[in-house]
Structure 1
Amino acid sequence: MTHTAPTYATLDEWIEREALQFSLSSPTAFNAAVDKMLASLGNSVELLGLGEALHGGEDILTLRNRLFERLVTAHGYSAIAVESSFPKGWLTNEYVAGRGPQSYAEVEESGFSHGFGRLEANRELIEWMRSYNAKPSHQVKLKFYGFDSPTEMYGSDSPRQVLHFVLDYLTPLDSDSGLEHRSRIEPLLGQDAAWENPATLIDPTKSIGLSEVATALRMETEELISTLQIQRPELVARSDEERYLEAVHYAMMARQLLNYHANLAQTSDKRFIRLLGMRDALMADNLVYIVSRERRRGKVLAFAHNSHLQRGKAQLSLPTQLGPDVHIWWPAGAHLEQMLGPRYVIIGTGLGSSEPNGIARPEANTLEARLTAVPGPGRFIPTHKGQGLPASDIAALPARTASKKNPSYFPLSPESLVNFDWLAVLDSTAYTRGAPVLPDQK
């Protein structure tokens, strides 16, 4: 059944009539707002995205934690996937499941990428999930995933971990085939430092991605994928379908990671735009895989920067040595829109101000100023994908000033009303506990 979006004469009328007020310090009011928002989404949603307006917003992380708790206890969610390395997330999930590592300290670095394990809100999330899973009355156990590609902003992982995962799966099931592949792959891996050299981002000549060894490793990875595909009936019978599909996914990730390294070694002026696009395409593949894995158990919450989860093109300004001043590419959310359709819904976040992040109060008539004019300190509001909202008001919205300290902050824009299904807007946020100190730029 389709519902016609209501029509509003002004943006202020839309905000005043549809905003669902909440406070993170009032669980009852917050849960009621979440329940009302979820009821509007229908039953087809399998993947709910929650974007963050910046990396460095403590209250946005708290919003994520409270939202996930409510999704688990009242709405059938079984997993969370965050903007962190997919292969590293396996270790954190082992801790959440009560296996392997005995303390969070053991997964803080090796179970997250980007230093995200050091964030106190992430520690609190993981400890809550582990505690939840330890209760026998909770029959559906929660799972934690990273869904980012195994790359960093200033470097990229060696393919060793993902290839070893596949070989470690194959060898016990078919020792001859596994050992043969390992004997050919292992000498080609070389030193991890050669793959992970951060200088490759600026200087393509520092990358080994197009070397003879790397090219040979790409061919061997294709052979490994072929072996998995050819021997599927045997491998599934000797393990199970879930473990088999996991190994195949890791093998495909190894392929894409090696392709990423090959692109790092190229000199095209489109090079960095292509790298950004490759990263987000792999993010989308990872999320679709996670959804398929959880389908029999529950739904999935995905958490990442707004720019990764939005439907429309992403845009980033970077130094000129990385190519054009402005880089534009299709983010993971745009891929997910095509791959999952109405099964994917996105909540973007907006922010009034944050002194620790160098974000002043929004200028008059900007979208953030209008959204924070209604009672808060937080509010959910449906965008209706821009339908029924006054086009002239939207076109006239002035641009809000960005952050003086935190380059990861992107203000909302008129496109946000199309890129997201709902907005979660906070009056303010503290700086994230455990994150690196921001430069004090005036």
Structure 2
Amino acid sequence: MATDIQDTTHAVDAAAVMKLLPVRPRVLALGEPTHGEDMLLDLRNDLFRQLVEEEGYRTIALESDCLMGLLVDDYVTSGTGTLDEAMAHGISHDWGTSAANRDLVRWMRAHNEGRPASEHVRFVGFDGPLEITHAASPRQALTALHAYLAAHVDADLLPCTAATVDRLIGDDARWTNPAVMMDATQSVGQSADAKELRLHAHDLVALLDEQTPHLITATSREDWDRARLYGRTATGLLRYHFWMADTSAARMTRLLGARDQMMAHNLFAVAQRGPALVYAHNSHLQREKSTMRMWDLPLVEWWSAGALMSAHLGEQYAFLAMALGTIRHQGVDTPPPDTLEGLLYALPEDRNLIDARQLATTLADSRPAPRVSPWFGYASLDPSHLPGIDGLVYVKDVLQS
């Protein structure tokens, strides 16, 4: 069996990835099964550089706050600010402290230096401005959208004034209250102010769409595209806050689904720019339904951003999942030999790119059982997902940086 599996393996590089795919996808998604390991991010960086230099890719999109990411993009494209500022304020979840993420941003700035804008590589955060415990106030996104429209369209067309937006939002702290995750009744998301604000947000987005020909001419496609981001973010956050206030059994399903829908909407915008590498947790990129068990709640299922992208883009969306052998510094030791990770651990190379569908055919009825992860931070790969994966990146041993 080990010999048969080895027949499905390739080097982990851009050329090998492209040979696995029927077409060059506009969105190439690389998943990770755990967060915070620079060794995996170094692999991502290497692959992105190859995709840029050999395949014409121009964008990388990370599981990070979409509004914060604008600071990084401004830095890598025009040198605005400093590298330290970009890392401290442009990447969420405290991942700006990662040496590998810093290396990525530094390389992107160096690559763009002296090149025309058409050849620039771009940075995108495609997650919403939210954490698992709370979401941001809609103020930044909604006021920026309103200001853009107010500067370039007739005031009579605006559905509300900036003062109305400010009054309805009120104190930002009532939106970001961390107690809301465990007590929905403390959420402002279904208040009269929030419902009125949600209507205004949708009307502002509709006005932005209606005025597209004028706005692109009066400003630029880049400014208009950024306004669209503000609109997506404002409406997405207000929808997320609405479900934060929900007290039904569907609450967590709706929250997780709303977050991944925000991710998908941002990725659709990325896909319009040209081919992009997307990097996030496997659960946000896989084609099958994602699942999560939180606290003492029942298992939650929802459709990921990747599943949504795949449904809309077909072959223009490709998914490379990642699986690991060991993360010994986190207590994840050699995988049992009867698991998928255990079978792959017998391969001689430290890293492999595996034709997942060919592997599924090779395993046939002897498909191994899922690995039970000894550490909550590592999500093992479900072998039943192999037919829905375009390629599997296997890293034998993850070493601490």
**Which band: TM-score by shorter chain?**
over 0.9
Asked if 1:157 corresponds to 2:136, the answer is yes
Contact 1:181 1:224 in 2 (8 A): no
Distance 1:132 1:138, change over 3 A: farther
Q: Which residue of 1 aligns with 2:96?
A: 117
What CA distance in whole angstroms lies between the structure 2 residues aligned with 1:18 and 1:243?
46
Asked if 1:63 corresponds to 2:43, the answer is yes
What CA distance in whole angstroms lies between the structure 2 residues aligned with 1:385 and 1:203?
47
Q: How far 1:241 sits from its partner (Å)? A: 3.9
Q: How far 1:42 sits from its partner (Å)? A: 4.0
Match of 2:308, as an amino acid? Answer: H
Asked if 1:378 corresponds to 2:354, the answer is no
Q: How far 1:137 sits from its partner (Å)? A: 7.9
Q: How far 1:210 sits from its partner (Å)? A: 0.9
Distance 1:223 1:34, change over 3 A: closer
Q: Which residue of 2 aligns with 1:3?
A: none
Of residues 230, 238, 250, the one that matches 1:258 is 238
What CA distance in whole angstroms lies between the structure 1 residues aligned with 2:391 and 2:311?
19
Of residues 15, 18, 26, the one that matches 1:35 is 15
Asked if 1:425 corresponds to 2:401, the answer is no
What CA distance in whole angstroms lies between the structure 1 residues aligned with 2:191 and 2:99?
41
How many residue pairs align between the two structures?
400
Q: How far 1:14 sits from its partner (Å)? A: 3.9
Contact 1:362 1:368 in 2 (8 A): yes
Distance 1:427 1:63, change over 3 A: same
Q: Which residue of 2 aligns with 1:231?
A: 211
Q: How far 1:329 sits from its partner (Å)? A: 1.1
Match of 1:130, as an amino acid? Answer: R
Distance 1:40 1:230, change over 3 A: closer
What CA distance in whole angstroms lies between the structure 2 residues aligned with 1:424 and 1:73?
21
Q: Which residue of 2 aligns with 1:414?
A: 383
Distance 1:134 1:14, change over 3 A: same
Q: How far 1:182 sits from its partner (Å)? A: 1.4
Q: Which residue of 2 aligns with 1:439?
A: none
Distance 1:166 1:138, change over 3 A: closer
Of residues 391, 403, 406, the one that matches 2:364 is 391
Q: Where in structure 2 are the equivalents of 1:327-366 lying within 5 Å?
A: 327-366=300-339
Distance 1:412 1:179, change over 3 A: closer
Q: Helix, strand or coil for the counterpart of 1:108?
A: helix
Contact 1:86 1:145 in 2 (8 A): yes
Q: How far 1:358 sits from its partner (Å)? A: 1.7
Q: How far 1:316 sits from its partner (Å)? A: 1.1
What CA distance in whole angstroms lies between the structure 2 residues aligned with 1:347 and 1:359?
22
Contact 1:50 1:304 in 2 (8 A): yes
Structure 1 portions without partners, runs of 5+:
1-9, 22-29, 434-442
Q: Scaled by the length of structure 2, what TM-score is found?
A: 0.94
Q: Which residue of 2 aligns with 1:317?
A: 293
What CA distance in whole angstroms lies between the structure 2 residues aligned with 1:385 and 1:129?
35
Match of 1:402, as an amino acid? Answer: S
Q: Which residue of 2 aligns with 1:438?
A: none
What CA distance in whole angstroms lies between the structure 2 residues aligned with 1:80 and 1:262?
31
- The alignment's C-alpha RMSD in Å is 2.0
Runs (4+) of structure 1 exceeding 6 A deviation are none
Q: Helix, strand or coil for the counterpart of 2:383?
A: coil
Q: Helix, strand or coil for the counterpart of 1:83?
A: strand
Of residues 20, 29, 47, the one that matches 1:49 is 29
Distance 1:400 1:231, change over 3 A: closer
Q: How far 1:390 sits from its partner (Å)? A: 3.8
Contact 1:56 1:357 in 2 (8 A): no
What CA distance in whole angstroms lies between the structure 1 residues aligned with 2:305 and 2:329?
29
Contact 1:385 1:419 in 2 (8 A): no
Q: How far 1:414 sits from its partner (Å)? A: 1.3
Q: How far 1:48 sits from its partner (Å)? A: 0.5
What CA distance in whole angstroms lies between the structure 1 residues aligned with 2:149 and 2:174?
27
Contact 2:159 2:203 in 1 (8 A): no
Structure 2 portions without partners, runs of 5+:
none
Asked if 1:19 corresponds to 2:33, the answer is no
Deviations, residues 183-204 of structure 1 (Å, cap 9, x unaligned):
3212112122111111111100
Match of 2:381, as an amino acid? Answer: L
Distance 1:55 1:279, change over 3 A: same
Asked if 1:304 corresponds to 2:294, the answer is no
Q: Which residue of 2 aligns with 1:97?
A: 77
Q: How far 1:223 sits from its partner (Å)? A: 2.4
Q: How far 1:263 sits from its partner (Å)? A: 0.6
Q: Which residue of 1 aligns with 2:190?
A: 210
Match of 1:317, as an amino acid? Answer: R
Q: Which residue of 1 aligns with 2:340?
A: 367
Deviations, residues 36-71 of structure 1 (Å, cap 9, x unaligned):
232332434111000001013221111101111111
Q: Helix, strand or coil for the counterpart of 1:391?
A: helix
Q: Scaled by the length of structure 1, what TM-score is found?
A: 0.85
Contact 1:385 1:421 in 2 (8 A): no
Asked if 1:274 corresponds to 2:245, the answer is no
